[in-house]
Structure 1
Amino acid sequence: MFKEEFKIPAEYISSRLYSLFTKSAKRCYNKRRQDHGKHSWPWWKEKIIFKWENDSWRFEMEKYFEESIFNIERDRPMSWFIKQKDRLTALHPDMSQTMIHERILRKFGGDLEHAIRRRFIEPFSTEDYINSMGDITTMKIGRNWYKHPIENKTSGKAIPKPNKAH
């Protein structure tokens, strides 16, 4: 993509791979670089496609997408939404933004999904969805949507009302 669309020389792309990769991709790159030495961009492109563009990788990405549920105490709306969007885009590059947003919104279910949908009349951008998620999760509906298991247990003791000093 970079070579054809931006007319970047192959040597420059292959020299910048280390800074482009993160986590397991960076570890894999380092290992292959140690084992095979310096190579051109077409060689690296072939190795990258072989490593990550296969059925096993697709199955794993789909599994991560399906298992990832938004947790109001653990997840930040922006990072969670972007991660899900990146997973879907990697799995289905031709999927429209509207369909990506639909699949992500269906993962919320219930009140939170309804509250986010009520804010829109027509399909909006990813930023609009993320901003709405952030607003709603900090408001009362977001706190009511997610109840911590410990909070659901009642001790049976009456909670005294505070005295109001006038």
Structure 2
Amino acid sequence: MELIDYIDGLFNYVPSIPDYWSTARLNTAFEGHASIWYTEMKEIHGRRNWPWWKSQIIPKYRNGTWIWKKTMSFENDKYSVDKAPYEWCLRQSKRLKVVHLYWRNFNLIQPLRLDFDPTLNFKLLLSQFGQELQAAKG
């Protein structure tokens, strides 16, 4: 889903970007089974624009099984002191964002806080999380 956000962002940032620029390199964005799926779809349907590809990708990869796997990944990745807090927070926030599409950053913090050991300094960890989110946004 990050791919969709990225390409949509390109069109929002540069509305005049030719559509083929966004779809010409899709083959490099997919790996494993997704790459095979993309190649087969391209052979069957030929060259298509970004809205068409987006309408194919979302139902294929944002289904109940995929959401369940992301949810389980979130629940099973517990924070421990041997992990870098900002890396863990970013990884977990990405999982939450793809499952809960309309949550804002404020909504993401609460589930992350519940996973921390109460003896840790929340302010420091959440401050690092906020800084990393700002850096990721550019």
How does the TM-score come out when normalised to structure 2?
A: 0.69
Unpaired runs of 5+ residues, structure 1, are: 131-166
Q: How many residues align?
A: 120
Quote the Cα distance in structure 1 between the aligned partners of 2:80 and 2:27: 32
Pairing partner for 1:116 from 122, 125, 138: 122
Shift of 1:128: 4.4
8 Å contact from structure 2 (residues 86, 132) kept in 1: no
Percent of aligned pairs with the same amino acid:
20
Report if the CA contact (8 A) 1:3-1:9 is conserved: no
Aligned-pair CA distance for 1:5: 1.4
The runs of 5 or more residues in structure 2 that have no matched partner are: 1-7, 134-138
Residue 12 of structure 2 is matched in structure 1 by: 5
Aligned twin of 1:127? 130
The structure in which a higher percent of residues are helix is 2
* Residue correspondence of structure 1 range 22-37 to structure 2 within 5 A: 25-35=30-40, 36-37=42-43
Q: Where in structure 1 do 4 or more consecutive aligned residues deviate above 6 Å?
A: none
Higher relative contact order (CA 8 A, sep 6+): 2
2:136 is matched with none
Larger gyration radius, structure 1 or structure 2: 1
CA RMSD of superposed structures (Å): 2.8
- TM-score, length basis structure 1: 0.59
Query: Secondary structure in 1 aligned to 2:31?
Result: helix
